Amino acid sequence: EQNVDKLQGYLARFREGGIANRIAGADRAGGAGVFQTCSPVDRSVICDVAHGTRDDIDAAAQAASDVFADWRDMPATERRKILINVAEAIEARAEEIALCECWDTGQTLRFMSKAALRGAENFRYFADQVVQARDGQHLKSPTLMNITTRVPIGPVGVITPWNTPFMLSTWKIAPALAAGCTVVHKPAEASPLTARLLVEIAEEAGLPPGVLNTVNGFGEEAGKALTEHPLIKAIAFVGESRTGSIITKQGADTLKRMHLELGGKNPVIVFDDADLERALDAVIFMIYSINGERCTSSSRLLVQDTIKDEFEARLIERVNNIKVGHPLDPATEIGPLVTEEHFNKVTSYFDIAKQDGATVAAGGETVGDVGYFVRPTLFTNATNDMRIAQEEIFGPVLTSIPFSTEEEALAMANDTAYGLTGYLWTNDLTRALRFTDKLEAGMIWVNSENVRHLPTPFGGVKASGIGRDGGDWSFEFYMEQKHVGFAT
Ligand code: NAD
């Protein structure tokens, strides 16, 4: 109740004025008018949003280009200070960000309040790297003083998806700004609210106009124009694998540098020697938190046949107790899925599972008929070649598959187009070493759920992406190496 009242207060200004594009520190109406963003909780319209076009992207790219040299050349300590101010301002408005995000995306408050603070942490972490980011090396040869330095690549485009949009946007934008790049951000059309809050917060915290610009709109229009714009030197993209291929083609004519963080069908492998209680907690957390709308979710459970019956029985009991409900209720664990289209996609797998011969052991139903709610779902009696084991469903839906030997588990774990994360549960150290060495994934956790540590590399292999974020890897993407040789 209290949270709903607060939300209404925060939404009032959006209802009244809508969301404009933000270019060079000023509001700009969308070239194609407006579109509407709706809440998945009750399908109500939240507000009008600027429908950005190629012209809007052009204006934003020009603005980012106009101020690039000033931002690049600002003393690192000053840029650092501004980014710290942004982090503090995010913390000060974390509640507003979390409530708006929940209403716009259907994510639950219990997870989004943490995600808003992670956004602040992203700014703080990369702010602290600003001063060293350009440090280079001196590689002396007999006849030359060889100096290498790093310089920001130029204005960049950031294209983000609708799942945890605030946190993901900061994950891309903070290092770009820290590197000395200026940014044009195209947020997902399904979740524009918190991208607007971010640009506002950043400007109020002292980010000069034009350093961060936000253009709302659709992927095939505004997004496409951004990937094709000659003033934009690189694109940091988070979204579906299919979209990653499309934007790579779109960026080819202007030779864009691309960083792609894409989909996953991540395995969690549970051996019978594991701590099963902890494994159970982690399996549940990694697929049923954040509505299962999470690229790193463990959506395939590979469980050793010796413990399968017991593990699945305990899983079913726990899954049936997960609370589906209003995302602003602090007790809710699963809120509605983000859009009608996505709801239709996720629920279509309930039939697909049955047609392919799997068992719906828990869930497999929708909840109510107003919002896009589904029950947390578990499929059992599945095989790894089924669609429910191969395709990214991106909802609170887990497919359980038994295995008998380590070799079989490894073959199944790798038998997927994707390779983002893997989770391994075993108390046999040498098996863990063997297995992780052969598992095809960009990130693996052993006896742990996914715990992000910002200095470590984040990214996937195979259809899960190209490139890494985190630590200095982010700067490698947003900067160019420059070599200068002086004759001695
Ligand atoms: P999506 O690919 O449909 O859209 C992502 C963004 O790309 C949106 O802003 C969209 O407007 C834009 N876009 C779409 N077509 C475009 C085009 N032709 N040119 C330029 N931009 C275009 O993805 P989504 O449905 O919003 O997000 C869910 C997907 O994101 C899932 O596959 C998920 O696994 C993935 N994801 C990956 C990571 C990761 O780190 N690997 C993190 C979060 C989400």
ipTM: 0.96
C-alpha angle with apex 61: 55 to 66, nearest 5 degrees?
A: 125
Separation CA 263–CA 393 (nearest Å): 10
**What's the rounded mean pLDDT across residues 153-169?**
98
**What's the rounded mean pLDDT across residues 447-466?**
97
- Predicted confidence band at 254 (pLDDT cuts at 50, 70, 90)? very high
Atom 20 of ligand 1: nearest residue by CA position: 223
Answer yes or no: is pLDDT of 211 > 90: yes
Decide the pairing of beta strands 366-367 and 373-374.
Answer: antiparallel
Ramachandran bin of 480, using left for φ above 0, alpha for ψ from -120 to 50, beta for the remaining angles: beta
Query: pLDDT value at position 252?
Result: 98
**What's the rounded mean pLDDT across residues 83-89?**
98
Query: pLDDT value at position 16?
Result: 97
Tens of pLDDT, residues 21-32:
999 999 999 999
**Ligand 1 atom closest to residue 263's alpha carbon, by position in its atom list:** 34
Query: pLDDT value at position 269?
Result: 99
Active site residues: 261
Distance 237 CA to ligand 1 centre (A): 7
Query: pLDDT value at position 45?
Result: 98
- Cα separation of the two ends of the chain: 74
Query: pLDDT value at position 244?
Result: 98
What's the mean pLDDT when you consider all of the chain?
A: 98
Separation CA 363–CA 365 (nearest Å): 5
Q: Helix, strand, or coil here: 367? A: strand
**Ligand 1 atom closest to residue 342's alpha carbon, by position in its atom list:** 25
Tens of pLDDT, residues 349-379:
999 999 999 999 999 999 999 999 999 999 9
**What's the rounded mean pLDDT across residues 244-273?**
98
Separation CA 244–CA 465 (nearest Å): 8
Query: pLDDT value at position 1?
Result: 80
Answer yes or no: is pLDDT of 335 > 90: yes
Which parts of 167-232 are beta strand (E)? 183-186, 212-214
Query: pLDDT value at position 437?
Result: 98
Quick check: 47 and 19 in contact, CB under 8 A?
yes
Residues with C-beta less than 6 Å from any ligand 1 atom: 159-163, 168, 186, 188-189, 218-220, 223-224, 227, 238-240, 243, 246-247, 250, 261-264, 295, 392, 394, 420, 460, 464-465
Q: How far is CA 428 from the centre of its chain?
A: 32
**Above pLDDT 70, what percent of the chain?**
100
Neighbours of 273 (CB within 10 A): 14
Tokens encoding 63: 């603005």
